[in-house]
Structure 1
């Protein structure tokens, strides 16, 4: 048996499990997860803008 076959089988099984988990999660939970992710990235963007704005203490360091 080729050593890479185990890795290929692992990836295939992981994809199956991800698909099952995504299908079993209620729509409301998926929407909440998406909203939290968008909010998190928005906060990161705002923080980066504040930290790099000229004239702020963070930008002077």
Structure 2
């Protein structure tokens, strides 16, 4: 695929995603309980991963 065409498609998709996010934000829909759980779990996994990455080696 031509790089210019690829970038055009990606920009179009980004524009669509921003429009969807703005629509959801303006609609003020409450976040479903399952979605809140998924978000919380995701951030917990990120935090655990960061702790593992920044741990000091045990052989010092």
TM-score range, shorter chain: 0.3 to 0.5
Q: TM-score scaled by structure 1?
A: 0.47
Q: TM-score scaled by structure 2?
A: 0.48
- 1 or 2 for the larger relative contact order (CA 8 Å, sep ≥6)? 1
Whose helix fraction is larger, Structure 1's or Structure 2's?
A: 1
